[in-house]
Amino acid sequence: MKKRQVLLLENESSLAAAIASRLARIGQFTIDVVSTGYGALRALGTAVPDALVVDTTLPDMPATELCRAIRSRERTAHVPLMLVSEPAVLGPIIGFELGADDYVTKPFDPEELAARLKALLRRQPIYEPERQADVFKGELLEADFNAVDVLVRGRPVTLTKREFRLLRHLVHMRNQVMDRAMLLASVWGGQQYDPRLVDAAIWRLRTKLDEAGRQIETVPGFGYRFNEPPER
């Protein structure tokens, strides 16, 4: 029987150890533990788990922002999400409105959390995510992300490693708005960087892509989006 992969976000190390130990004893789960919202976004950018358990007391971002980011991404929109919270921090009504599938109130017994997670996953088929396309062919832009080749109307474009990673992420998430925090986590790998790095990198990328650079849209107050008309 295939074990179900659980990503646990808990910044209190003793509680994280207790939850992970209880889930591991069941024998049906493998558990990855992260302690920050940015850590969760980085992990989700690498692999999609079968379930997410998120403590809403985060040290680096509002839990509401993290939940919206999880549900706005095509790759993670389907993932069962269990929130662990004190009602004063994020109540169950808001939690469910943000896309949670279950809600556990603090303080709680790790045995109860494990039982509820088992019940939640019994209702979910094992999901095999589709491999992201490695070749993109748009109206102006073509990119082979394995070969690290980028063309604009057939003309080769030379990008730095960071610019290439930024373009790849925007293209994979095309037509979806990505805020600077999400781009920092996915492309730069953490929150320790100045968010203005994203703005500068976007400007350079637009310049190098010439007319295709206009497809990278600034959405005031939200972030950036790579626009590509759907295939007809």
Q: Are residues 163 and 204 in contact, defined by beta-carbon separation less than 8 angstroms? A: yes
Whether residues 92 and 116 fall in one domain: yes
Work out how many domains the chain is built from and give that number. Answer: 2
Q: Rounded CA gap, 201 and 166, in Å?
A: 8
Whether residues 19 and 117 fall in one domain: yes
pLDDT for 129 equals 44
User: In which domain, by residue range, is 220 found?
Assistant: 135-226
- 129 or 112, which is more confident: 112
Tell whether 19 is covered by a domain: yes
Q: What's the 3-state SS for the chain?
A: CCCEEEEEECCCHHHHHHHHHHHHHHCCEEEEEECCHHHHHHHHHHCCCCEEEEECCCCCCCHHHHHHHHHHCCCCCCCCEEEEECCCCCCHHHHHHCCCCEEEECCCCHHHHHHHHHHHHHCCCCCCCCCCCCEEECCCEEEECCCCEEEECCEECCCCHHHHHHHHHHHHCCCCCECHHHHHHHHHCCCCCCCHHHHHHHHHHHHHHHHHHHHEEEECCCEEEECCCCCC
pLDDT digits (tens, 9 = 90+) for 131-176: 444 788 988 999 998 888 999 999 999 999 889 989 988 888 888 8
pLDDT for 127 equals 44
Whether residues 100 and 189 fall in one domain: no
Q: Rounded CA gap, 132 and 75, in Å?
A: 9
Tell whether 217 is covered by a domain: yes
Confidence band of 189 (pLDDT split at 50, 70, 90)? low
pLDDT digits (tens, 9 = 90+) for 61-102: 888 888 888 888 777 888 889 999 888 888 888 888 888 889
Q: Are residues 227 and 175 in contact, defined by beta-carbon separation less than 8 angstroms? A: yes
Instruction: Tell me the average pLDDT across 111-121.
Output: 84
Q: Are residues 153 and 140 in contact, defined by beta-carbon separation less than 8 angstroms? A: yes
Q: Which of 122, 149, 171 is the last residue of a domain?
A: 122
Q: What percent of the chain has pLDDT over 90?
A: 22
pTM greater than the 0.75 cutoff: no
Confidence band of 192 (pLDDT split at 50, 70, 90)? low
Where residue 159 sits, what CATH number does that domain have? Answer: 1.10.10.10
Q: Which of 80, 96, 122 is the last residue of a domain?
A: 122
Whether residues 64 and 89 fall in one domain: yes
